[in-house]
Amino acid sequence: MTLLILFVISMILLLYMWREAFQNRVVEMELSYEHFPSAFGELKLFFVSDIHRRVIAQEIIDKVKDKADFVVIGGDLTHPMVTRFILLGLKKFHWI
């Protein structure tokens, strides 16, 4: 019985992690820095992280299109397949 419970919990956790891994979220944050040079004005960044082997959904591109001054990609960039996916995905940001 204990093994069955552990198995069920493990499967639920695995399904949850799988679902979370493929979720696309856009979180908007406003940051201000006291000593940021005013000559830069207001900068808007689109920070993409933990792409792994996913393709950035067109709906996300549409949400940020013409709203970002820079695209910053961080996290998990050392794997050759990930790099390939990122380079393919960068073509979607031609509007920057």
Helices (H), the chain: 2-21, 58-64, 80-90
Inter-residue contact 64 to 95 (CB < 8 Å): no
pLDDT tens for each residue of 43-65: 888 888 777 666 777 888 888 88
Which pLDDT score is estimated for 15? 95
pTM (two decimals):
0.59
H runs (alpha helix) in 35-79: 58-64
- Evaluate whether 88 touches 73 at the Cβ level (below 8 Å): no
**Structure token pair of residue 11:** 């499967």
Mean of per-residue pLDDT scores for the chain: 80
